[in-house]
Amino acid sequence: MPSLACVAGEPSGDLIAAPALAALKQIPSTRDLQVFGIGGPAMQAEGFISRWPMETLSVRGYVEALAQLPAILRLRSELLHYLLKVERPDVFLGVDAPDFNLGVETRLKQEGIATIHLVSPSIWAWRGGRIHKIARAVDRVLCLFPFEPEIYEKAGIAASYVGHPLASEIPEIVDQVGAKESLEIDGITIAVLPGSRQSEIELIGPLFFETMAILANQFKGQNLHFVLPVAAPHLRPAIEGLRQQLVASHPGIQLILLDGDANLALAAADVVLIASGTATLQAALWKKPMVISYKVPWLTAQIMKRQGYLPYVGLPNILCGEFVVPELLQDAAKPEDLAREVMHWLNHPEAVQALQKRFEELHRILKRPTGLLVAQAIEQSGAVIVGRSDDPNFDMNTEVDAVVVAFHRTFDFAGLTKLSAKIRSGARFIATNDDATYPTPHGVIPGGGSIVAAVATASGVQPMIAGKPYAPMATLVKAVLGETDLS
Extended beta strands in 322-408, E state: 327-329, 402-405
pLDDT of res. 142: 97
Q: Over the stretch 41-80, which tens digit does the pLDDT of each residue have? A: 999 999 999 999 887 676 555 445 566 678 889 999 999 9
Distance, CA of 219 to chain centre = 40
Give CA–CA dist 104/7, Å, rounded: 10
Give CA–CA dist 1/54, Å, rounded: 25
Question: If we measure between CA atoms, which residue out of 293, 295, 334 comes closest to residue 314?
Answer: 293
Give CA–CA dist 413/403, Å, rounded: 16
pLDDT of res. 435: 86
Question: If we measure between CA atoms, which residue out of 476, 460, 458 comes closest to residue 468?
Answer: 476
Question: If we measure between CA atoms, which residue out of 61, 58, 71 comes closest to residue 9?
Answer: 58
With a CB cutoff of 8 Å and minimum separation 6, the contacts of 102 are: 94, 117, 121, 133, 134, 137, 138
Give CA–CA dist 384/32, Å, rounded: 14
Give CA–CA dist 169/367, Å, rounded: 9
Are the beta carbons of 116 and 381 closer than 8 angstroms? yes
Task: Give the DSSP H or E segment for 27.
Answer: none
Low-confidence ranges of the chain (pLDDT < 70): 1, 56, 58-68, 125-129, 298-310, 382-389, 468, 471-487
Task: Give the DSSP H or E segment for 456.
Answer: helix 448-459
Report the residue count for the chain.
487
Q: What residues pair up with 230 in beta bridges, in sequence order?
A: 259
Q: For residue 5, how many other CB atoms are within 10 A of its CB?
A: 25
Give CA–CA dist 335/333, Å, rounded: 7
* AA letter at 283: A
* AA letter at 278: T
**CATH class for the domain made up of 176-366:** alpha beta
Give CA–CA dist 257/201, Å, rounded: 14
Separation in Å, CA 353 to CA 345, 349, 350, 358: 10, 6, 5, 9
Q: Where in the chain is the domain with CATH 3.40.50.2000?
A: 3-163+370-381, 176-366
Question: If we measure between CA atoms, which residue out of 56, 49, 117, 53 comes closest to residue 86?
Answer: 49
pLDDT of res. 180: 98
Give CA–CA dist 38/8, Å, rounded: 6
Q: What residues pair up with 305 in beta bridges, in sequence order?
A: none
Would you list the DSSP string of 282-325? HHHHTT--EEEEE---HHHHHHHHHHB-SS--SHHHHHHTS-SS
Give CA–CA dist 486/478, Å, rounded: 7
pLDDT of res. 335: 98
Q: What is the 3-state secondary structure (H, E, C) of 208-267?
A: HHHHHHHHHHHCCCCCEEEEEEECCHHHHHHHHHHHHHHHHHCCCCCEEEEECCHHHHHH
pTM score, whole prediction: 0.70
At residue 382, φ and ψ (nearest 5 deg) are: -80, 95
Q: Which CATH superfamily is domain 3-163+370-381 in?
A: Glycogen Phosphorylase B; (3.40.50.2000)
Q: Where in the chain is the domain with CATH 3.40.50.1000?
A: 402-481
Starting at the earlier edge strand, list the strands of the sheet with 188-193.
Answer: 255-259, 224-230, 188-193, 271-275, 290-294, 327-329
**CATH class for the domain made up of 402-481:** alpha beta
Give CA–CA dist 50/16, Å, rounded: 16
